[in-house]
């Protein structure tokens, strides 16, 4: 595969890193479309000399060395056990960004490009030293001319181009990775690339994160114990985001000697995660310890809304039903809801699925008693579903990961935390709201108008149906879907049948000619008959090989 220029340099860099970590066999396949003897020897030597290092660990090391794009890819994959095996997801969840700080000149150039002026001119104070740094951008402390402290998130220059080049490489090599590597045997590389591309397109646009932040702020504004930073749109663009600077202690740094009500903190944090979901179907998709803070007055703050999950109303109701069913240990409902929100990718034994689900639900009673966590229940549901060929909706998997992370965070603050004390009342409230909706006067007028129109037109519509039925003009039109495969299969089958009949006729006719007194002879057999018999044999052999390959 010839490569030139900057793309060629990146390809060579990728191949060198793969070779360094024992994937020389894979590097040869990517570079040449096949593996050389040298690649096989290096691959064998690495495995023999590094037996203690498992495949998931080596893949994690490769991702770390390949840089920001692959680190972000690994972090996303760690939340998708439906795309990669659990042991790979666990290892990739430990990926850490190893990035250099941006130079002051780069930060200044980015702010000028996006906001139209120097940071010193826009802000009363701007600190070029980052408060936090990651693969896509870094955060700086600023003070507006009004005196308000703000966090200014600046995207790294050219990061979009870097990520796009790596995405192009992944797309370019995805077929080889799928067909010729062990990676392709355990996951669908093409689907991984598509999921990653969609995710990065959203995360690279800071205006989407700003809208997410405002959504959560509006939902949680009545909860005085929960804080979400305000967005300053005047100083926000696709590559620069300005929000309130939250001063507090991160959950992961909460000192043991701090005199606070830890149970209340844990409940508040979980409420901040679950309440937006039950109200509007949105949830914070990345509630890791660095994104949740405790303020001096005991309030809980959420930051960084780059990853947000959204549920349509039907799925939101299903998720609430699932939590209620788990809390009530209703095995059949848990199983039915799981199947409704999933895609069945292969035939499965329903009784075995039920038994595995029942064993998992039996563990729910131990939640909050130090024996098992609700997060383990969620992970168990995912494992059972994948084991039986039932692929859960990706948004459900994202919600499950968020619940696992937030529950672990709550239990690190208060070990006796039980998520059901927060989730169960919210589920009940959700259904009470659905059953007893609060209608305003405008809503009532609108509903009356709709029903008035329906009842006004109903007699005439019924009369038209009766008239057409009596006169024989009533027609029912059936529109089929997804039957093209049947037509294609019938065409293939009929073609093969026709060829088989012709082939049989050739064999019979050639056999008769061979023993007949027709044309020139060869060892006493008719040459014309022999030629026909040889042709029929070759055609029959080709058809047999083709059919065997198709069946396999």
Residue partners of 434: CB distance under 8 A and separation at least 6:
317
Residue partners of 135: CB distance under 8 A and separation at least 6:
67, 68, 69, 71, 72, 97, 99, 156, 159
pLDDT confidence band for 3 (50 / 70 / 90): very low
Do the beta carbons of residue 409 and residue 251 sit within 8 Å?
yes
Give residue for tokens 């044309």.
519
pLDDT confidence band for 41 (50 / 70 / 90): very low
Least confident range of 25-34, 211-220, 397-406, 456-465: 25-34
Mean pLDDT across the stretch 363-374? 63
Instruction: Report the C-alpha gap between 289 and 193 in whole angstroms.
Output: 28
Q: What proportion of the chain, given as a percentage, has pLDDT over 90?
A: 15
In sequence order, the β-bridge partners of residue 151 are 141, 243
For 189, the 3-state DSSP assignment is helix
pLDDT digits (tens, 9 = 90+) for 297-356: 888 999 989 888 888 877 777 877 887 787 788 888 888 888 887 877 778 788 888 888
Instruction: Report the C-alpha gap between 209 and 469 in whole angstroms.
Output: 57
Instruction: Report the C-alpha gap between 82 and 394 in whole angstroms.
Output: 8
Give the pLDDT of residue 34: 46
Both tokens of 415, joined, read 């070990």
Instruction: Report the C-alpha gap between 396 and 300 in whole angstroms.
Output: 25
DSSP state letters, 5-27? HHHHHHHHHHHHHHHHTT-HHHH
Give the pLDDT of residue 151: 95
Mean pLDDT across the stretch 525-537? 76
User: C-alpha angle 379/383/385, rounded to 5°?
Assistant: 115
Both tokens of 230, joined, read 């305000």
DSSP state of 525: E
Nearest to 310 by CA among 361, 276, 343: 276
Residue partners of 526: CB distance under 8 A and separation at least 6:
513, 514, 515, 516, 517, 518, 519, 520
Give the pLDDT of residue 116: 93
Instruction: Report the C-alpha gap between 552 and 549 in whole angstroms.
Output: 5
Mean pLDDT across the stretch 219-241? 90
Give the helix ranges, DSSP H, for 204-327: 206-220, 262-280, 313-327
DSSP state letters, 494-505? HHHHHHHHHHHH
pLDDT digits (tens, 9 = 90+) for 187-198: 567 777 787 788
Do the beta carbons of residue 136 and residue 155 sit within 8 Å?
yes
User: C-alpha angle 313/318/322, rounded to 5°?
Assistant: 150
Taking each helix axis from N to C terminus, what angle separates 189-203 and 206-220, rounded to the nearest 10 degrees?
Answer: 70
Both tokens of 339, joined, read 């199947």
Instruction: Report the C-alpha gap between 17 and 58 in whole angstroms.
Output: 11
Do the beta carbons of residue 228 and residue 217 sit within 8 Å?
yes
Instruction: Report the C-alpha gap between 151 and 140 in whole angstroms.
Output: 6
Write phi, then psi, for 311 (nearest 5 degrees): -110, 135
Mean pLDDT across the stretch 134-149? 92
Instruction: Report the C-alpha gap between 493 and 501 in whole angstroms.
Output: 12
More confident residue, 251 or 82: 251
For the full predicted model, state whether its pTM sits above 0.75.
no
Instruction: Report the C-alpha gap between 78 and 166 in whole angstroms.
Output: 19
Instruction: Report the C-alpha gap between 189 and 59 in whole angstroms.
Output: 14
pLDDT confidence band for 153 (50 / 70 / 90): very high
Mean pLDDT across the stretch 262-288? 87
Nearest to 263 by CA among 424, 403, 425, 414: 414
Residue positions counted in the chain: 552
pLDDT digits (tens, 9 = 90+) for 291-301: 888 888 888 99
For 450, the 3-state DSSP assignment is helix
**Helix, strand, coil fractions of the chain, as percent rounded to 5:** 65, 10, 25
More confident residue, 452 or 298: 298
Give the pLDDT of residue 2: 45
Indicate if the pLDDT at residue 248 is higher than 80: yes
- Give CATH for domain 104-156+205-302: 1.10.510.10
| In the chain, domain spans | 5-99+161-202, 104-156+205-302, 311-435, 484-551
Nearest to 285 by CA among 444, 394, 377: 394
Both tokens of 37, joined, read 């003897």
Instruction: Report the C-alpha gap between 545 and 540 in whole angstroms.
Output: 9
Give the helix ranges, DSSP H, for 243-373: 262-280, 313-327, 331-340, 350-362
Give the pLDDT of residue 114: 95
User: C-alpha angle 138/273/250, rounded to 5°?
Assistant: 45
Residue partners of 113: CB distance under 8 A and separation at least 6:
239
DSSP state of 372: B
How many alpha carbons fall within 13 Å on the CB side of residue 410?
30
Q: Are strands 292-294 and 149-155 parallel, antiparallel or unpaired?
A: unpaired
Instruction: Report the C-alpha gap between 434 and 431 in whole angstroms.
Output: 5
């Amino acid at each position: 595969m010839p490569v030139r220029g900057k793309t060629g340099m990146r390809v060579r860099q990728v191949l060198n890193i793969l070779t360094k970590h024992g994937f020389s066999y894979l590097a040869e396949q990517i570079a040449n479309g096949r593996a050389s003897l040298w690649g096989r020897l290096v691959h064998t030597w690495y495995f023999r000399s590094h037996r203690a290092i498992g495949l998931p660990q080596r893949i994690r090391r490769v991702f770390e060395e390949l840089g920001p794009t692959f680190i972000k890819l690994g972090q996303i994959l760690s939340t998708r056990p439906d795309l990669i095996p659990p042991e790979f997801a666990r290892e990739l969840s430990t990926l850490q960004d190893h990035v250099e700080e941006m130079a002051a000149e780069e930060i200044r150039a980015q702010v000028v490009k996006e906001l139209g002026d120097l940071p010193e001119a826009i802000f009363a104070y701007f600190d070029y030293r980052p408060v936090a740094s990651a693969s896509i951008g870094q955060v700086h402390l600023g003070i507006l001319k009004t005196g308000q402290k703000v966090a200014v998130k600046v995207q790294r220059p050219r990061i979009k181009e870097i990520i796009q080049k790596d995405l192009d490489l992944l797309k370019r090599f995805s077929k080889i990775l799928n067909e010729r590597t062990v990676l392709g045997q355990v996951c669908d590389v093409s689907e991984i690339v598509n999921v990653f591309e969609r995710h990065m397109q959203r995360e690279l646009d800071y205006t989407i994160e700003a809208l997410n932040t405002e959504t959560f702020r509006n939902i949680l504004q009545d909860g005085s114990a929960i804080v979400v930073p305000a967005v300053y749109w005047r100083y926000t663009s696709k590559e620069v985001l300005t929000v309130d600077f939250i001063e507090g202690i991160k959950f992961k740094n909460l000192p043991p000697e701090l005199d606070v009500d830890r149970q209340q903190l844990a409940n508040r944090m979980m409420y901040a995660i679950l309440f937006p979901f039950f109200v509007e179907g949105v949830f914070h998709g990345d509630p890791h310890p660095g994104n949740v803070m405790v303020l001096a007055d005991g309030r809980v703050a959420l930051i960084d809304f780059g990853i947000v999950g959204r549920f349509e109303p039907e799925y939101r109701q299903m998720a609430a039903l699932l939590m209620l069913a788990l809390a009530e240990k209703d095995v059949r409902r848990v199983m039915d809801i799981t199947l409704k929100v999933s895609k069945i990718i292969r035939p499965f034994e329903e009784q075995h699925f039920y038994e595995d689900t029942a064993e998992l639900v039996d563990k729910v009673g131990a939640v909050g008693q130090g024996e098992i966590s609700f997060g383990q229940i969620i992970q168990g549901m995912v494992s059972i579903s994948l084991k039986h060929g039932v692929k859960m909706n990706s948004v459900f998997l994202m919600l499950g990961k968020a619940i696992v992370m937030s529950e672990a965070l709550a239990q690190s603050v208060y070990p006796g935390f039980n998520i059901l004390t927060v989730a169960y009342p919210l589920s009940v409230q959700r259904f009470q709201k659905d059953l007893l909706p609060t209608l305003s006067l405008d809503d009532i007028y609108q509903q009356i108008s709709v029903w008035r129109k329906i009842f006004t037109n109903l007699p005439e519509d019924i009369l038209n149906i009766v008239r057409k039925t009596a006169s024989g003009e009533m027609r029912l039109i059936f529109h089929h879907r997804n039957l093209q495969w049947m037509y294609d299969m019938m065409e293939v089958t009929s073609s093969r049948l026709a060829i088989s009949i012709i082939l049989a006729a050739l064999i019979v006719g050639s056999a008769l000619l061979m023993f007949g007194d027709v044309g020139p002879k060869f060892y006493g057999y008719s040459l014309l008959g022999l030629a026909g018999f040889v042709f029929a044999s070759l055609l029959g052999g080709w058809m047999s090989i083709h059919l065997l390959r198709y069946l396999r």
